[in-house]
Amino acid sequence: MAITSELKQGISSQFSTGSLQRGISRQYTTLQASLDPRISNPRFSFGRQSSLDPNTRCPDRDDNLKVPKNLDSTMQLLFMACRGDVRGVQKLLDEGVHVNSIDLDGRTALHIAACEGHVGVVKLLLTRKVNIDARDRWGSTPAADAHHYGNMEVHNILRDGGAKVPERKRAPRSAEKPREVPDYELNPLEIQVRKSDGILRGNYQVAKWNGTKVSVKILDKESYSDPESLKAFKYELEMLMKARHPNLVQFIGAVTQKIPMMIVAEYHPKGDLGTYIKKKGRLFPSKALRFALDIARGINYFHECKPDPIIHCDLKPRNILLDGGGQLKVSGFGLIQLSKVSSDKVRLAQPEAHSGLQSLYVAPEVFKNEVFDRSADAFSFGLILYEVFEGVQPFHPKSPEEAARMICLEGRRPPFKVKSKGYPPELRELIVECWDEKPMMRPTSSEIIVRLNKIVANCSKQGWWKASFRLPWYVCSFGNLPYNRESHF
């Protein structure tokens, strides 16, 4: 009786505000409106939500919920189903509320009752010819919702009633409870990947997320049964989540509760530093130093992480991206799994799985599969800085494999071919220290930043920039000489 009086009070309030109309055409109007969520139907936010909702919530159960006022007929039906009030649901259906009425998310009373496990309401709705396979906006059915929340009695009733119960693939990292769904979880339906691009293992590809271009890495089918691949996916995801710096590629989110699993990061249309150098050649010192500071700051962020530093281990021009504003961002961190030896020393966890690390920019100790520390990134930084100022890869035109052997096994270093006036005075000294054979002699990333800043300051004070640039950008405005884009910094 209390429920009935509360409902009458809510309905009376709707009459007074004009939100509820009765008449000869009431049933037809209600049917049309209730089946079209675009006609201002609100979202039913009480109780458990759809099992496929990326923002799945599971609030504490409250059996003493009171009927809110000013509810329309559809919301009243869903609320009664959520409470498990069989008489309340029956009364509303007898008054003409359509059994398949839906909210903004396309959820019916059967969805709600299945989520909450109310057997009596489910049986009643089935006798009223409810759509047993109705799908909400995310594609979930009542049977799927019942199974997700462990309401197996309801699930079996729906299955025996003819509901289609497709096998749902469970992602290896999916949460057991809705509350455990991570904050970074994205709705896979919002990510559009062109089918023609295919799925490339270990590579990022361009996609669209809510209309914005992003980089997406998709875990291929074979990896779901491979513990090592799943471990690598988890490690890369954890590293990306820690990347909160202007000179690091930013993590957007991930799909871990559904298959296929994905990692989504920001997209940089201007490509990587290696491609940029091949196109532009040797960069002017001002831009080269600015690029060097961008890289050093990004690496320093990870090196200063507490309690233990994070080592990139695969720093190379291809893993350094250029954003739309001309700023460099380091990427590729988290791709190499490391095994901790001490608080500041590590080694490769799976040397055989990282044959690509025998690359041109890797430190000798990493190349030889020895124990190493964050100074390995300083070695790679020195070779990258050399390439930025020289305009070519170390030991060009030799192959990267041959150059790597010369550097790591023979202890040779690439020669400086650009005349001394092409470098700021202290820069060669910094490069040589970075690629020192002994790791302890290499500068830390924080020391590199300090020294680069001093080099920039000294060059400005001594007028070195003016002496280096025979073509200042402002000369072009007078039309005396052709414009050179690289000289504008």
Cα 197 to its chain centre, rounded Å, is 19
Helix residue spans in 42-149 (DSSP H): 73-83, 86-94, 109-116, 119-127, 142-148
13 CB-contact burial (10 Å; exposed 0-12 / middle 13-18 / buried 19+): middle
For the chain, the residue count is 489
The whole-angstrom separation of Cα 396 and Cα 312 is 25
Closest to 408 in 3D by CA, of 388, 384, 437, 383: 437
| Contact criterion met (CB below 8 Å) for 126 and 90 | no
284 contacts: CB under 8 Å, gap ≥ 6 = 468, 469, 486, 487, 489
DSSP 395-411: TTTS-HHHHHHHHHTS-
Closest to 346 in 3D by CA, of 328, 369, 329: 369
The whole-angstrom separation of Cα 79 and Cα 112 is 8
The secondary element (H helix, E strand) that includes residue 33 is: helix 26-34
| Contact criterion met (CB below 8 Å) for 394 and 403 | yes
Q: Give CA torsion, residues 82, 88, 89, 92, to 10 deg.
A: -130
314 is catalytic: yes
Is the C-alpha dihedral spanning 208, 210, 212, 218 positive or negative?
Answer: negative
Q: Which of 105, 314, 373, 377 is catalytic?
A: 314
> Which residue in the block uniquely carries the two structure tokens 């409106």?
33
The whole-angstrom separation of Cα 433 and Cα 449 is 14
**DSSP conformational letter for 319:** G
Closest to 333 in 3D by CA, of 303, 288, 371: 303
Q: Enter the tokens of residue 125.
A: 């709705």
> How many CA atoms lie less than 13 Å away from 213 in the CB half-sphere?
9
Closest to 325 in 3D by CA, of 286, 291, 301: 291
Catalytic residues: 314
